[in-house]
């Protein structure tokens, strides 16, 4: 008849237009059910982004960390589910106003640290002490392996080990005074003392550094202290100190891990 066109699809094609069902973690999903599950996952990710925004504004780092970890886990599950369904991820559906690139980067940094800490704890369980001669070092590592020694990081104290504007000002004044004293002193006299403590760069994360390098350095035991200091080397520069030979500041890649009764203290050497 005039004005009537042929169907675009045959009856057989219409019957098979949807992707076939698939199984994910023991449950079978139809194409419609898969779409509903994806929307549910996207809502959950938006919720965690909202939590990150509020926690960051309030300065609540614990809540921000918790939300970041959940968001990363949800992303992993979402991508795995979409792969099983044979479809593409739609991250545009997880957009939340206010969740900026800065927050996304901060979330990424938090989850990176948590992954390193997780690997660190797994590494402790597999410590091999068979070739260690020093009985104190062997005993210490065996205690770490058993979990007898806590491996928490005292992040609150770390602020005292970070480069600040005040530190830079004090260091400049000390260096100026040091150079003046050197010029005044006669040859072969004692070198003036300096009081510039070493400091970390502001972008150094103590939890990440401890988790990545603890157990890889050289141990130093002091009298009346069952816990050693460990001197570890980073691949990159992590801080700054005063170099008497250069009479100026110098970059550092070696740091010291001190273990107290309940936590690690991370400082430059």
- What pTM was computed for the model? 0.53
pLDDT of 85 above 80: yes
pLDDT range class, residue 186, cuts 50, 70, 90: low
pLDDT in tens, 242-254: 776 666 777 888 8
| Element containing residue 239 per DSSP (H, E) | strand 239-243
Residue 57: per-residue pLDDT: 94
Sign of CA dihedral 15, 18, 20, 21: negative
- Residues 93 and 129: their CA atoms lie apart, in Å, by 51
pLDDT at 29: 94
242 by DSSP, 3-state: which?
strand
Give the start-to-end residue ranges of the domains of the chain: 11-118, 149-268
Q: Which residues, 6+ apart, have CB-to-CB distance to 27 below 8 Å? A: none
- In this prediction, residue 269 has a pLDDT band, given cuts at 50, 70 and 90, of very low
Render pLDDT for 90-133 as a digit per residue (tens, 0 to 9): 999 999 999 999 999 989 888 876 776 677 667 667 777 777 77
Backbone angles phi, psi at 235, to 5 degrees: -70, -25
pLDDT above 90 coverage of the chain, percent = 22
Strand partners, 251: 240
Q: What pLDDT was estimated at residue 130?
A: 78
Please give the Cα distance from 86 to 79 (Å, whole number).
10
Query: Do you know the residue count of the chain?
Result: 269
Q: Please, which pLDDT band fits residue 180 given cuts at 50, 70 and 90?
A: confident
């Amino acid at each position: 008849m005039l004005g009537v066109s042929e169907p675009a699809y045959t009856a057989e094609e219409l019957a098979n237009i949807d992707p076939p069902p698939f199984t994910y973690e023991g449950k079978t999903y139809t194409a419609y059910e898969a779409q509903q599950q994806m929307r549910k996952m996207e809502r959950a990710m938006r919720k965690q982004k909202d939590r990150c925004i509020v926690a960051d504004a309030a300065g609540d780092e614990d809540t921000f960390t918790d939300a970041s970890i959940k968001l990363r886990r949800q992303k992993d599950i979402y991508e795995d589910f979409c792969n099983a369904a044979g479809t593409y991820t739609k991250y545009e559906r997880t957009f939340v106003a206010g969740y900026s690139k800065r927050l996304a980067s901060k979330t990424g940094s938090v989850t990176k640290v948590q992954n390193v800490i997780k690997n660190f704890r797994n590494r402790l369980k597999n410590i091999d002490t068979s070739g260690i001669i020093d009985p104190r070092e062997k005993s210490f590592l065996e205690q770490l392996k058993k979990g007898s020694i806590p491996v928490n990081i005292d992040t609150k104290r770390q602020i005292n080990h970070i480069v600040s504007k005040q530190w830079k000002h004090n260091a400049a004044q000390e260096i100026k005074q040091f150079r003046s004293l050197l010029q005044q002193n006669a040859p072969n006299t004692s070198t003036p003392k300096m009081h510039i403590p070493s400091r970390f760069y502001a972008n150094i994360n103590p939890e990440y550094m401890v988790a990545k390098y603890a157990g890889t350095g050289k141990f130093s035991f002091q009298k009346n202290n069952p816990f050693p200091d460990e001197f570890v080397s980073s691949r990159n520069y992590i801080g700054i100190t005063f170099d008497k030979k250069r009479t100026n500041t110098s970059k550092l890649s070696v740091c010291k891990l001190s273990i107290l009764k309940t936590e690690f203290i991370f400082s430059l050497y």
